[in-house]
Amino acid sequence: MAIVQISRITNRTGLQTDLPQLDGGELGWAVDSRRLYIGNGTLAEGAPVVGNTEILTEFSDITVLSDYTYKDIAVGYAAQTGATTGDPVIRSVQTKLDDQASVRDFGAVGDGVADDTAAINRALYQLFCREVNTQIRRSLFFPAGTYLVTDTIKIPPFAKLIGEGASSTIIRLDVTSGAAPEFMVQFADSLQQTESNLGLNGALLPEHIEVSSMTFQSAEETDLVQIASARQCWFDSVEFVGPLTVSDLQDLGFDPDGGNDFATVRFFNKGSISTCADITFDRCRFSGLAKAMDTDVAVTGVTVTNSLFDVLYYGITLARGTLEGSGPSGFRVVHNRFNQIFAQGLWFQDTNLNASAYNLFQDVGDRIAVSPISAVVEFGNDNNISVGDLFSRTDVEVRTTALPRIKVTGSATNTGSGIRLGRYSRDRGRTLALPDSGNAVVVQYNITLSPMVEIEYTISRGDLVKSGTMLVTAGSPDGSTEAVIWTDDFNEIGDTRVTLSASRLSDTVTVTASATSTGTLPTMLYSIKQLF
């Protein structure tokens, strides 16, 4: 380096790589990196070490110049981080800052104007896809803001996305030109491959994905989130919000099972290589599309708790189309509130092993505060259960519309129980459409399981109503007594011309409703109580 001396101050100027050992007090300026140094001096002069010390400028890398030791001095003392108080754990500021990554570190802006699609996908790839080493994985933090996206966000395995609250961190899909993507968000494999490409090239399938404290919002009518071949994933305090309003849902041209068939959450399996299982939604909100959840694929172990369903045509619909494999089952919908739902809050058709418990159904199944058009909860198969659910639909509405709170359909020998405690079973909310003239089976059961059955019923036929309780008792199951007796205690407004009777063949008892023609079709609402 060239030497310039002014009075007693000397300095050297040159390239960073040419910086020599400076004399005590001598300055050295690296012109290429624009960094300034001063010589320490000798040990004899009192310097702690021989070398050069960098003087901080705007171009200094302070993350490598400073060390970090956890202290927690707010409690009044420095925490012991090492084996002894004199041997603390020392880390660089850089490694400390890298403990958590911000999506803004990868170029996302979050101002609701700049397109953050590429930046978000880049962050997800770099943190969770680039290497299989678990040490590269960091929680991806989304500071408060609105992150505009115009294409699909692909969330890979082991991703953990954290926002600052559903009303503070918003990822918003808004496409100003061209078609909207099929999904706003898709679960992807470890190479961010989706759907038919899942698992190719040795990629890991989606698992252990966590999303919390943010909103997925769409200005487009499109599916919001596709959960694909995923296992053990969690959504906590997440809102899924589409663009539809109450007036959109009440439009007579709105087709929830056709052109407007969009859901906030859908499920997908790639063949049989992996099926969706053990997905949890807690403290979430589903709003603004035709359905909150809709699937016909083989998915099990989905739990939805402490959440809000509002401004939807349907709440959750399962197995209403062509099933994939065994179809969905094992959904548990517990401690939620359903409000402003046009039709069924829950419609579980060709599926079983599902439970609805302690939910509050307010403005549901009535075209959103108009008049009832459907049951509130509908089970189309055996072995589904509703326990402790609460409904705002009144007894008067049930009686005058013949639309129950809980409707259990399927075969005439349906045995799904509304509640079962030990040997006690109560099946409620069944509906049976009777012929104008002829017989219909109300229930069949085996006396080896239940020798006595109680049926509470209401039969409506135009303005005619018949309500009563039928008690059916069969003889011994060993065949020594083949008799079956019944009593039917009822009150009737007019003559419905419908009678109930019971018969027995071997160990099977059949309860039958017989109608005589009046020109009006009767409907029977009933529940069954039995001891096993």
pLDDT digits (tens, 9 = 90+) for 489-518: 999 999 999 999 999 988 889 999 999 999
Report pLDDT for 96: 76
CA distances for 190 relative to 135, 181, 266, 299, angstroms: 15, 21, 20, 21
Q: What percent of the chain has pLDDT over 90?
A: 61
Q: Residue 392 contacts by C-beta under 8 Å, 6 or more apart in sequence?
A: 361, 362, 363, 364
Helical residues (DSSP H) of 433-498, grouped into ranges:
none
325-337 pLDDT, tens digit per residue, is 889 999 999 999 9
Amino acid in the structure at residue 488: D
Residue 363 to residue 393: CA distance in whole angstroms: 8
Indicate whether 479 pLDDT > 60.
no
Q: Are 350 and 327 in contact (CB under 8 A)?
A: yes
Q: How far, in Å, are 169, 221, 503 from residue 154 at the CA level? A: 18, 19, 61
| 504/472 Cα distance (integer angstroms) | 11
128-160, pLDDT tens digit by residue? Answer: 998 777 767 789 999 999 999 999 999 999 999
Count of beta carbons in the 10 Å neighbourhood of residue 480: 7
pLDDT at residue 420 greater than cutoff 60: no
Contact status, residue 36 vs residue 20, Cβ threshold 8 Å: no
Count other C-beta atoms under 10 Å from residue 513's C-beta.
21
Radius of gyration (C-alpha) of the chain in whole angstroms: 34
In this prediction, residue 266 carries a pLDDT of 96
Mean predicted lDDT score pLDDT of the chain: 88
Strand 140-141 and strand 101-102: the pairing is parallel
CA distance 294 to 388: 24
Mean pLDDT of 172-187: 94
- Could you tell me the sign of the dihedral formed by the alpha carbons of 406, 410, 412, 413, in that order? negative
Q: Give the contacts of 76 (CB within 8 A, at least 6 positions apart).
A: none
Mean pLDDT over residues 154-183, rounded? 96
Residue 104's pLDDT band, with cuts at 50, 70 and 90, is very high
The residue-averaged pLDDT of 32-57 equals: 87
Write down the pLDDT at residue 397.
87
Q: How confident is the model at residue 417 (pLDDT cuts 50, 70, 90)?
A: very low
Q: What's the token pair of residue 202?
A: 């040795």
Q: What was the pLDDT predicted at 164?
A: 97
Q: Is the pLDDT of residue 424 over 80?
A: no
Q: Which secondary-structure segment (H or E) carries 249?
A: helix 246-250
Find the mean pLDDT for residues 74-87.
77
pLDDT digits (tens, 9 = 90+) for 311-324: 999 999 999 999 98
Name residues whose C-beta falls within 8 Å of residue 172's C-beta, 6 or more positions apart in sequence: 112, 146, 147, 148, 149, 217, 218, 219
Superfamily in which the 433-531 domain is placed by CATH: 4-oxalocrotonate tautomerase-like (2.60.40.1680)
Range of weakest confidence among 2-11, 47-56, 83-92, 185-194: 2-11
| Pairing between β-strand 153-155 and β-strand 145-149 as defined by DSSP bridges | unpaired
pLDDT higher than 70, residue 73: no
- pLDDT band with cut points at 50, 70 and 90 for residue 428: low
